Amino acid sequence: MTSSYASRAPRHVAIIMDGNNRWAKARGLSGIRGHHAGVESVRAVIQRAAERKLEAVTLFAFSSENWKRPSQEVSALMELFIIALRREINRLHRNGIRLSIIGERERLPNSLQKAIGKAEALTRDNSGLHLIIAVNYGGRWDIAQAAKRLAERVERGQLAAADIDEARFDSEMRIDDVPDVDLCIRTSGEQRISNFLLWRMAYAELYFSPLYWPDFGVEAFDEALEAFSQRKRRFGMTDEQVEVQGA
C-alpha cells in the first residue's frame, strides 16, 4: 500500500513518552534503567522526524507533577538530563536541529540550567527540525503564566484589556513560534494528555500506542504518522466543506 504520509504530514508532533518504569519492571531492572533505555527511542524518533522534514517535535520529559516521585528517581532523572544534553547536543547541532527547553527552570538544578542555556545558545540559529523538550512543565502553568504576563502589561498601561484576543494570548505562550500540535502520541497504552500543551492541542489528533516508550522506535513512529494521514480533520466544518477545501 502506498503511504499517504507525504501529502498529509503533521507539522508539529507532541509525544508523551510513557512507560519507562513499567518497561524496566517487566525486565527486573531499576526504573532509571528504563529511562536510560528511553533515551535511545528519543534519538531514533528525532532522527526520523528530521528525515521526514517535520517542523517541530515536542517531547514531554518531566511534568510539574513528577516531583512527587521518589527523590532518588528524580535525582537520577535530573542527572540523566544533563548527561543526555552534553552527549547529544553536538549531534543535534551537526544535523541543523534547534533545541528549546520549556518549563519552569528555577526549580531545576543549577548544573542542568547551565547545560540548557549552552545547548539552546549553540543551536539557536539552526533552521532544521525544532526540537522542544518540556521539563518541569504543566499546561495549566503555561496558560497561567501567559495570563500573568498580559495582566502585568495591562497594569503598566502598555496594553488595553480589550486588545487581548486569542492571537495576543498565543504570543505569550512558552512556544509561540511553532504551529499548533497536529498529532499527539502517547505510549504505554494510557489514554490521557496529562496536562501537556493544553493550549497548543486544541485540535490535535490523538494517537495511543500500547508500546512502552523504550520499545517505540522508527517503525512505530512511522505507523503513527501513517495513522495521522488517514484522519479527516474538520476544524468545525462538515465533511462536504472539508472536501471542497481540499479539492
Question: Residue 3: is its pLDDT beyond 60?
Answer: no
The per-residue pLDDT for range 92-113, each reduced to its tens digit, is 999 999 999 999 999 999 999 9
Q: Look at residue 98 and tell me if it is in a domain.
A: yes
Q: Look at residue 172 and tell me if it is in a domain.
A: no
Q: What is the CATH number of the domain that holds 38?
A: 3.40.1180.10
What residue numbers bound the domain in which 53 lies? 11-144+182-231
pTM, whole model, 2 decimals? 0.91
- The region of weakest confidence among 131-135, 163-167, 235-239 is 235-239
Q: Look at residue 32 and tell me if it is in a domain.
A: yes
When divided into structural domains, the chain yields a total of 1
CB atoms within 10 A of CB 72: 11
The per-residue pLDDT for range 194-218, each reduced to its tens digit, is 999 999 999 999 999 999 999 999 9
Confidence of residue 238 (pLDDT cuts 50, 70, 90): low
The verdict on whether 18 is a catalytic residue reads: yes
CB atoms within 10 A of CB 234: 12
Q: Look at residue 168 and tell me if it is in a domain.
A: no
Q: Look at residue 160 and tell me if it is in a domain.
A: no
Determine contact, residues 150/169, Cβ cutoff 8 Å: yes
Q: Which of 18, 21, 136, 142 is catalytic?
A: 18
The span from the CA of 24 to the CA of 83, in Å, is 20
Q: Look at residue 6 and tell me if it is in a domain.
A: no
Q: Look at residue 29 and tell me if it is in a domain.
A: yes
Q: Which of 66, 95, 126, 195 is catalytic?
A: 66
Report the interhelical angle of 31-51 vs 71-94 (nearest 10°). Answer: 20
Residue 133 has a pLDDT of 97
Q: Look at residue 166 and tell me if it is in a domain.
A: no
